[in-house]
Structure 1
Amino acid sequence: MEQRRWGDRGQLLKLESVESGETNGCAGVARLGSAQVGAELFSLWVQLRGTAWAEAREGRFRLRAGQWIAFEKDSRPLIQADRHGLCIGLTLDAEALRRLGGFADCALYAGRGRMGRHDALITLRLWREACRRIGEGGTADVTALRPLLLHLAGLQQELSQRIARCPGRSRSRKRQVFGRLQRARLYLEGNCDRVVRISELAELTSFSSWYFSRTFYSLYDESPQAAAARLRIEHAAELLRSTTMMIGEVAAASGFDNCCSFARAFRARYGVSASAYRSGLSQARTDSAKSSGAARKATARGGT
């Protein structure tokens, strides 16, 4: 029998650690369901279908099919699926994370990213197998999650390659620093609708502002300020693509005080004005629709 925890059809699933005793295991949300993760659990979520929203200490995120997101132990994320959404995840306590490092000298970190359809199908299969093992054993021992954990760690391989850049004499110290910086980067992504102060990021990572800025640059090849500015402009471009908001509304929703500063920043990033960017997208959609229509007509004529 499979054992998994679901937040489905508007239900709220509470994934607490100490009280429930279910610290490690599989969970999912679907069809307007939601899940609230406790303060002592690391969690990783994979969006398989539709969309979902995640709200945590690091900010607010929209998940689309093929995307994954991971949160640290005290992030307390709330995952909310849309009407057609399906999002699967797992929760891990501190001991499980420690044992993961002993499997194959690997670890999981906070952050977000994408996976292809093939990797998504593998993730779903391993997740289901983990649910079955937990159900048969009656307990969520971390060994039942091992294949899934190793697969997810492999998906984060591109992230973990940066660990060598982190300061520290031991690999464990480098991992600790990397984990904190990854969380700060996730915080920037989750707050791309406003200006983020360096002091906020330093407090989040428990580093001094000077040490944080220096380490962030050596790890990601851009300063925290540059990363924040880039993410805000990319957020604005996403709003231009996916909404009908006016340019001034997009600027405000991306943390700009006035349209002039937004216009300069947007042109510097994309080489065109925001209005021209949106017009180009509209024209591209029109041309694509015309091409598709012409192809369908040609196919219909050929079949008669």
Structure 2
Amino acid sequence: MSAALWAQRGHLLQFDTLSTSAQCVGASRLGVVQVTAPAFSIWIQVRGDGWIESREGRFRMRRGDWMAFEKESAPLIQTGPKGICIGLALDARALDELQALDDGGLYAGRGRIPPRDVRALLRLWREAQRGSGDGLSVRPLLLQLAIMQRDLAARARRCPGRSRNRKRQVFGRMQRARLYLEGHSDRVVRISELADLTSFSSWYFSKAFHALYDESPQALSVRLRLERAGHLLRTTPMMVGEVAAATGFDNCCSFARAFKAHHGTSASRFRAAAGRQAGIDGATEELYASA
């Protein structure tokens, strides 16, 4: 393992080649990493916050968040003023070796991990960074990452395909489509967009997506947009009509019906309840601070 590639203090690191089959990469304090190398990459926010932009969309990263991308995604990682994000880029050989070791592998997607696992992954990442390059130093990190993704590995085994490699390919494309929906929760996403992204027909894509995730891509899109609407109502002063437009609804009436069906209350009452809860949480923090 060669030394980690690192970007910090506003520096842009253009990462276009892998010097080894597994390369440690990181960014901190407004550092930016642009991955153009044909590599699978996985990123973990270990401190502060940041953003990741990719061909699937734009995603906020907070401590404990992880994201993984297929080689076509070309992610751009941006860290906040106090942010630290570590990553690992892998070529096809490293992924194949991991599949042979773990009977699972790594897949595109996103999720959260508890603080103790963040610390453990950081320690393993540092050990891999200092490794001798024989592949043994990175293996514990790869296996820990695979454990982190065990739920995705179980879902991947449900994918159509006769071989494990074919299942992985199909699942990787489906995960890209799911990330695309999450990254574009501000608008309606057409099935044809997702079919083009995955290189499947619209019919095959819709059928395989529903079989994997137990809901249609249209239903997931609506759910993600309504969850985004709830977040905007809790965290911004935007008017209800502005929130409707920011989540891809054509008019306030359709937004109001969909919001109430999903959240069980109207948007205005949802905001009022969120404000009361924020006040209770703030008062509790002050009480503990003064105790």
Tell me whether the two structures share a fold, i.e. TM-score over 0.5. yes
Which position in structure 2 is the counterpart of 1:159? 152
Which residues in structure 2 correspond to 1:142-153 (within 5 Å)?
Answer: 142-153=135-146
Q: Matches of residues 1-304 of structure 1 in structure 2 within 5 Å?
A: 3-17=3-17, 21=19, 24-133=22-131, 137=132, 139=133, 142-294=135-287, 299=291
CA-to-aligned-CA distance 1:57-112 (integer Å, 9 cap, x gap): 11111111111000110111100011111111111112221222222222111100
Larger Cα Rg: Structure 1 or Structure 2? 1
Quote the Cα distance in structure 2 between the aligned partners of 1:25 and 1:120: 19
Could you say what secondary structure the match of 1:212 adopts? helix
Contact 2:155/2:212, CA 8 A, preserved across alignment? yes
More displaced stretch, 198-207 vs 160-169: 160-169
Find the aligned partners of 2:153 and 2:109 in 1 and give their Cα distance.
Answer: 11
Rate the CA distance shift 1:39–1:250 in 2: closer, same or farther, 3 A. farther
Name the stretch that deviates more: 242-251 or 191-200: 242-251
Report % sequence identity: 57
Which has the larger displacement, 209-218 or 156-165? 156-165
Question: Quick one: distance in 2 between partners of 1:209 and 1:293?
Answer: 54
Backbone CA RMSD of aligned residues:
1.8
Distance 2:287 2:13 in 1: 49
Q: CA deviation at 1:291?
A: 3.9
Question: Are the aligned partners of 1:23 and 1:41 in contact in 2 as well (CA < 8 Å)?
Answer: no
CA separation of 1:293 and 1:73: change in aligned 2, threshold 3 A: closer
Q: 1:293 to 1:60 in 2, by over 3 A?
A: closer
- Once the two structures are TM-superposed, the CA of residue 15 in structure 1 deviates from its matched residue by 1.0
Alpha-carbon distance, 1:36 to partner: 0.2
Residues 1:164 and 1:24: Cα distance change in structure 2 (over 3 Å): closer
- In structure 2, relative to structure 1, the CA distance for the partners of 1:245 and 1:123 (3 Å cut) is same
Q: Which runs of 5+ in 1 are unaligned?
A: 300-304
Other structure's SS at 1:144 match: coil
Contact in 1 for aligned 2:45/2:84 (Cα 8 Å): yes
Deviations 1:29-80 (A, max 9, x none): 1111100001401110001111111111111111111110001101111000
Kindly provide the amino acid, as one letter, of the partner of residue 40 in structure 1.
P
Cα 1:142–1:257 change in 2 (3 A) is farther
- The one-letter code matched in structure 1 to 2:13 is L
Unaligned stretches of 5+ in structure 2? none
Structure 1 range deviating more: 145-154 or 159-168: 159-168
Say how many residue pairs are matched. 291
SS of alignment partner, residue 162 of structure 2: coil
Corresponding position of 1:302: none
SS at match of 1:7: strand
Report if the CA contact (8 A) 2:48-2:82 is conserved: yes
Provide the rounded CA distance (Å) in 2 between the counterparts of 1:296 and 1:49. 23
Q: Which amino acid in structure 1 is aligned with residue 123 of structure 2?
A: R
Residues 80, 23 of structure 1: alpha-carbon distance in 2 compared, 3 angstrom cutoff: farther
TM-fit CA distance, 1:267 = 0.8
Write the distance in 1 (CA, Å) between the matches of 2:287 and 2:31.
Answer: 42
Residues 59-68 or 95-104, more deviating: 95-104
Letter in structure 2 aligned against 1:189? E
- Conservation of the 8 A alpha-carbon contact between 1:39 and 1:74: no
Q: Distance in 1 between the 2:126 and 2:62 partners?
A: 21
Maintained 8 Å contact 1:251/1:262: yes
Kept in 1, the 8 Å contact 2:39–2:92? The answer is yes
| TM-score (norm. length: structure 1) | 0.90
